[in-house]
Amino acid sequence: MNIILKAILAVYNFFVGDLVILLGVTLLMVILALIHFLGALATLRGGSGAILIVGVLVTLVATLGREVMRPKNRQKA
Amino acid sequence: MQWAIVIAAFLASAVEFVEAFTLVLVARITSNWRSAIVGALAAVATLAVIVATLGVALVTLIPLNVLRFVIGFLLLLFGLKWLKNAIQRYSGLKFLHDEEAIYAANIAQARARGEPVNTGLAPFGVLLSYKSVLLEGLEVAFIVLSFGGSGANGIGLAALGAAAAGVLVIGVGVMVQSPLKQIPENTLKFIVGIMLTTFGTFWSGESFGINWPFSDLFLLLLAAFYLVASALLITAITRRKPRVARASTTSQATMLSQEKEVRL
């Protein structure tokens, strides 16, 4: 494997190692940024705290859900 | 908030120190004490340089709001990773961390290399000890750096927590001279996961101008919320497992009967 690819993979594994968590948290930050910077979404600003907390929880549920649905875990159960 | 930073750094460091200590012990058994200690000290020095240089650069060069966003983002990634692993271990989806088994496996691997034991500096022992302490400590170093975003001497407080954990784990480890299997690693990881996720949510929210109710006190409410949610998730996964088993047994039975029908 290319050494640059190996380095990127090592950094990814060090910080997250889970694509669902990475995508979930990134998406959440993008949504918050849109709410914060777009005037059209200004009405949602009051609820952005709740959106953040629920988003974190949804990410956790999604990544755990993926683990539960993995074939090896189904067999283990 | 300051005591929470010290506790979070203490617990996270304690877990990593336990894991690093096991591997330093392997270096001691397969080489000698001198090599293990030299490797570990070199790694600690490297980590100190990383924290000192990056820490100062982060706090002095980057605006607080940007710093809080980056740190909140990183803490959320770290926190959710730790929390996910701890929940998986509690609900039986993953095996519990077994320091004794890791110790035995590493001893066997190191002895298979067949390097003779001597009292001088053994390159393999130094390297094993250095690599182990550096890799385990790097995550702690980033957690300590992340707390620098809290403003009021965050790095100093987090470093204090980490140093206290180091003294405690190394002190106990030197006394017993065996892998520290009695330490409830998963419970520590679970608590740290909750704390990192809480701080991550709080700081990333603040970077987007969210004014949390009750100010810093909201951290406690948030931690309690994540704790209850995680407990519910553990219960749900543990309860779901037999149902998944039944479903897979039923589908297997259906497949077998279909096969029979085809054969017939």
Please report the pLDDT score of residue B141 as a whole number.
Answer: 80
> Among A65-69, B170-174, B201-205, where is mean pLDDT lowest?
B170-174
Please report the pLDDT score of residue B256 as a whole number.
Answer: 38
This prediction's pTM: 0.71
B201 vs A contacts (CB less than 8 Å)? 52-53, 56
Mean pLDDT, residues B254-258 taken together = 40
Please report the pLDDT score of residue A69 as a whole number.
Answer: 84
Please report the pLDDT score of residue A33 as a whole number.
Answer: 92
Please report the pLDDT score of residue B98 as a whole number.
Answer: 65
Q: Mean pLDDT for chain B?
A: 76
Taking only the tens place, the pLDDT of each residue in B190-221 is 888 898 899 889 988 988 888 888 877 888 89
Q: Is the pLDDT of residue A77 over 50?
A: no
- The answer to whether residue A38 neighbours chain B at the CB level (below 8 Å) is no
Would the CB atoms of B210 and A68 count as touching at under 8 Å? no
- The answer to whether residue A72 neighbours chain B at the CB level (below 8 Å) is no
- The answer to whether residue B50 neighbours chain A at the CB level (below 8 Å) is no
B80 vs A contacts (CB less than 8 Å)? 18, 21, 24-25, 56, 59-60, 63
Please report the pLDDT score of residue B68 as a whole number.
Answer: 79
Mean pLDDT, residues B4-22 taken together = 81
Confidence of residue B145 (pLDDT cuts 50, 70, 90): confident
Q: Is the pLDDT of residue B187 over 80?
A: yes
Nearest to A21 among B80, B237, B242 (CB): B80
Please report the pLDDT score of residue B41 as a whole number.
Answer: 87
Please report the pLDDT score of residue B38 as a whole number.
Answer: 87
Cβ under 8 Å to A: B residues 2-21: none
Taking only the tens place, the pLDDT of each residue in B23-76 is 788 777 777 778 888 888 898 888 888 877 877 776 677 777 787 788 888 889
Q: Is the pLDDT of residue A29 over 90?
A: yes
Would the CB atoms of A63 and B209 count as touching at under 8 Å? no
Nearest to A49 among B78, B200, B212 (CB): B212
> Among B102-106, B113-117, B232-236, where is mean pLDDT lowest?
B113-117
Would the CB atoms of B205 and A48 count as touching at under 8 Å? yes
Mean pLDDT, residues A9-16 taken together = 78
Taking only the tens place, the pLDDT of each residue in B91-101 is 888 776 666 66
For helices B185-207 and A48-69, angle between their N-to-C axes, nearest 10 degrees: 140
Nearest to A56 among B92, B201, B212 (CB): B201
Taking only the tens place, the pLDDT of each residue in A35-64 is 988 888 888 888 899 999 999 999 999 999
Polymer length in residues for chain A: 77
- Output phi, psi for A28, to 5 deg: -60, -45
Listed by start position, the domains of chain B span 2-250
- The answer to whether residue A65 neighbours chain B at the CB level (below 8 Å) is no
Confidence of residue B250 (pLDDT cuts 50, 70, 90): very low
Confidence of residue B1 (pLDDT cuts 50, 70, 90): low
Interface predicted TM-score of the whole assembly (ipTM), two decimals:
0.87
Q: Is the pLDDT of residue B136 over 60?
A: yes
In angstroms, rounded to a whole number, what is the distance separating the alpha carbons of residues B156 and B148?
Answer: 8
Please report the pLDDT score of residue B230 as a whole number.
Answer: 94
Q: How far is CA B129 from CA B20, B37, B125, B176, in A?
A: 8, 8, 6, 19
Determine whether B129 is exposed, middle or buried from the number of CB atoms within 10 Å of its CB (0-12, 13-18, 19+).
buried
- Residue partners of B155: CB distance under 8 A and separation at least 6: B51, B55, B59, B144, B145, B147, B148
Please report the pLDDT score of residue B114 as a whole number.
Answer: 59
Please report the pLDDT score of residue B201 as a whole number.
Answer: 93
b or e along A23-38 (b: 16 or more beta carbons within 10 Å of the residue's beta carbon)?
ebbeebbebbeebbee
CB B195 within 8 A of CB B7: yes
Of the candidates A39, A77, A7, A37, which has an alpha carbon nearest to the alpha carbon of residue B92?
A77
Alpha-carbon Rg of chain A, whole angstroms? Answer: 17
